[in-house]
Amino acid sequence: MTAIETAIDPRYQSRSLVCDGNEAAAWGVALARPDVIAVYPITPQSSLVEYVSQFVAEGIIDAELMNVEGEHSVLSALQGAALAGARTYTATCGPGLAFMFEPYIRTPGLRLPLVANLVTRDTLTPQCVWGGHQDAMLVKEAGWIQMYCETVQEVLDTTVMAYRIGEHPQVMLPVNVNSDGNYLSYGVTGIEVPPPVLVDAFLGERNINWHAALDPERPMAVDPLTGGAGGPGPGLFVGYRQGQCDAMQKALDIIEETHRDWGDRIGRHYAPLVEEYRLEDADYALVTIGSMTGAAKDAVDAARDRGEAVGLIKVKTFRPFPVKAMARALSKVRAIGVVDRSVAFGWNAGPLYQETLAALHSTERFLPAASFIGGLAGADITVDDFSGVIQDTARLLQGHRFDGPRWINRND
């Protein structure tokens, strides 16, 4: 059977593929059966929307594909499509995301459940087209749900799950599925594409625009001007903001429930919010995010073999930040080394470090912590690098404190 037949034939069973993360994401899109796709390719996302375009051309995806003139138009077009009841898709990264910024920040307030893969990339400048988390971290306060994938298979699976999470009536928020540029986007491995019939049942009946609908027969105003401090007052605006924050908190439960159901139906289980790895008897732990985690786990295993009581905490869901799950994990250790693939310029540390320390506050307990920044501009964080992180984190237990972040890859 050809790819087209197997993709659209609901009888076909799960299929093994060897592909990169961008193609895996495109298969996730195909399984979610979007109605409208708008694209503007930019490295390292380019091949993702090329795969999606190819799937549309071949009939694997039955959607309207809009190849528009820039990312601002991409998201504006998809907002209109979603308001008309369409399930939508796009992907972007780096400067493309920057150019998308205005409609990007408008989407969560419109409560439109768009799904967009961010093939994360470091930001300018100096010039760089390589992977990093800086682009996604720049927009972490825009109100989108953001999940970071560890593996190519997880990119496919999470892309499908994103639709069910975002479209849940208690959530109604846009979702970014983040995959590391280069390492996941171009990383090739064997994956399973689940049967469409199972994914169709998992996603259920589509109901995108129950809350607002562009319909010529029933004209309505969307995104009206709200009151300021004078006149009608800001209460309506505050109410909308509060609604977004409430939906973000509810999303934590929905993300867990969705991952559980995906595991039950498809057979692949992921920690939906925070993964605890070898944490039960650990004295200290690394905190990681994204595709760096595989090498970090290998380094943790090697350190365990040397008798080091080290574990690992991986963050999958970064927005909303899973404070309770993180606090639970942090309560099991006495020191942490947090590894970021981006920087928080105002804090001379990494953003994951910032967030982890904020979650720590809810435990009413102090933990010595160190910020490690690596993998910028596509740099490789090796198992040896993580062994160094483990050694440095162990020093925290002996009372050592670091002044500022540890810069991995500075001499690479």
Angle subtended by helix axes 235-266 and 101-110, to nearest 10 = 90
Q: Which residues between 367 and 406 bind other proteins (CB under 8 A)?
A: 378, 380-383
CB of 361 to other proteins, least distance (A): 32
Q: Interface mask (CB under 8 A) for other proteins, residues 146-165, using x and -? A: -----x--------------
Measured on CA atoms in the order 229, 235, 236, 240, is the torsion positive or negative?
A: positive
Q: Please name the residue ranges forming H helices in 9-70.
A: 21-32, 46-58
Binding flag, residue 192, other proteins (CB under 8 A): no
CB of 312 to other proteins, least distance (A): 11
CB of 144 to other proteins, least distance (A): 25
CB of 307 to other proteins, least distance (A): 21
DSSP 119: E
Question: Which of residues 105 and 128 has its CB atom nearest to other proteins in the complex?
Answer: 128
* List 10, 169, 190, 243, residue binding other proteins (CB under 8 A): 190
Q: Which stretch binds other proteins (CB under 8 A): 12-20, 159-167, 314-322, 355-363?
A: 12-20
Cα→Cα distances 231→162, 240, 242, 285, 404, Å: 40, 18, 21, 54, 49
Token digits of residue 329: 């994990």
CB of 188 to other proteins, least distance (A): 4
CB of 296 to other proteins, least distance (A): 9
Q: Which residues between 16 and 75 bind other proteins (CB under 8 A)?
A: 16, 18, 20
Token digits of residue 267: 């057979």
Pick from 275, 291, 276: nearest CA to 381: 291
Cα distance between residue 54 and residue 21, in whole Å: 16
Binding flag, residue 188, other proteins (CB under 8 A): yes
The answer to whether 386 touches 295, Cβ cutoff 8 Å, is yes
Question: Which of residues 35 and 385 has its CB atom nearest to other proteins in the complex?
Answer: 385
List the beta bridge partners of residue 67: 39
Binding flag, residue 267, other proteins (CB under 8 A): no
What secondary structure does DSSP assign to 307-362, as a single string?
Answer: T--EEEEEESEEES--HHHHHHHHTT-SEEEEEESS-BGGGTB-HHHHHHHHHHGG
Q: Which residues between 271 and 330 bind other proteins (CB under 8 A)?
A: 291, 293-295, 297-298
Binding flag, residue 125, other proteins (CB under 8 A): no
* Residues lying near other proteins in the complex (CB under 8 A): 16, 18, 20, 130-131, 151, 182-184, 186-190, 291, 293-295, 297-298, 378, 380-383
